[in-house]
A and B are shown apart, each in its own frame.
Chain A
Amino acid sequence: AQTVTQSQPEMSVQEAETVTLSCTYDTSESDYYLFWYKQPPSRQMILVIRQEAYKQQNATENRFSVNFQKAAKSFSLKISDSQLGDAAMYFCAYDDMRFGAGTRLTVKP
């Protein structure tokens, strides 16, 4: 079965700086999708970014981008120009089924 590991329970970043959240996964499949979801204090889960495994190009969404290393089974999220509203729990997910334990991101003003 697929597993998703987020090794950083907590991270902090200074406002306007860049932070990278790590995610690794285990699978024997070659075609799959990876996601980063954000859960702010309201607890409403929101999609941040999606990556298709067969695409070599890293996905980007405004200030959010990923570093997808398929061979290494690594899928990190980079947040540039961090804003106070980025403070949240971030979850890495494999397809719709497997979620990591999450990383709590704190943004310091």
Chain B
Amino acid sequence: SQTIHQWPATLVQPVGSPLSLECTVEGTSNPNLYWYRQAAGRGLQLLFYSVGIGQISSEVPQNLSASRPQDRQFILSSKKLLLSDSGFYLCAWSLGPRNEKLFFGSGTQLSVL
């Protein structure tokens, strides 16, 4: 069966420090991969999605970047965190675009202080 792993679960980082969040999927090939951010009390904002290795689409220009070095690995990064980067980050995968349901990771709560 397919599983998705996302880590760490909680992260506290100072302003200006780098960030690396990792997400891996098991049990499937060539999944669509997504990074979402959920600000406190708000809905999900799509940050990046990827339909294949090295293929990254950015939805919102910001302080973050994403990479997909392997088929089932998706990494969210920042060189210098801002206070506004705080939030709950969710990785997700699907079998195809648009019409397939999303399978979500357990999320990372990032606090930038």
Q: List the interface of chain A (C-beta within 8 A of B).
A: 4, 6, 32-33, 35, 37, 43-47, 50, 52, 91, 93, 95-102
Q: State whether A99 touches B32 (Cβ < 8 A).
A: no
Interface residues of B (CB under 8 A from A): 32, 34, 36, 42-46, 49, 59, 88, 90, 92, 94, 97-102, 104, 106-107
Q: Is the CB of A97 within 8 A of B104?
A: no
- Known A-B contacts A96-B32, A96-B94; A47 and B101 likewise in contact (beta carbons under 8 Å): yes
Indicate if the CB atoms of A99 and B102 lie closer than 8 Å. Answer: no
Give the residues in chain B near A37, CB-CB below 8 Å: 102
Contact A45 B46 (CB under 8 A): no
Whether the Cβ atoms of A96 and B100 lie closer than 8 Å is: yes
User: Which residues in A have their C-beta under 8 angstroms from that of B92?
Assistant: 45, 96
Q: Supply 9 further A-B pairs (C-beta < 8 A) apart from A95-B97, A97-B49.
A: A6-B43, A32-B98, A44-B104, A47-B102, A52-B99, A96-B34, A99-B36, A99-B44, A101-B43
29 pairs from A and B in contact (CB 8 Å cutoff): A4-B43, A32-B98, A33-B98, A33-B99, A35-B101, A37-B102, A43-B88, A43-B106, A43-B107, A44-B104, A45-B90, A45-B92, A46-B104, A47-B101, A50-B101, A52-B99, A91-B43, A95-B97, A95-B98, A96-B32, A96-B100, A97-B49, A98-B46, A99-B46, A100-B43, A101-B42, A101-B43, A102-B42, A102-B43
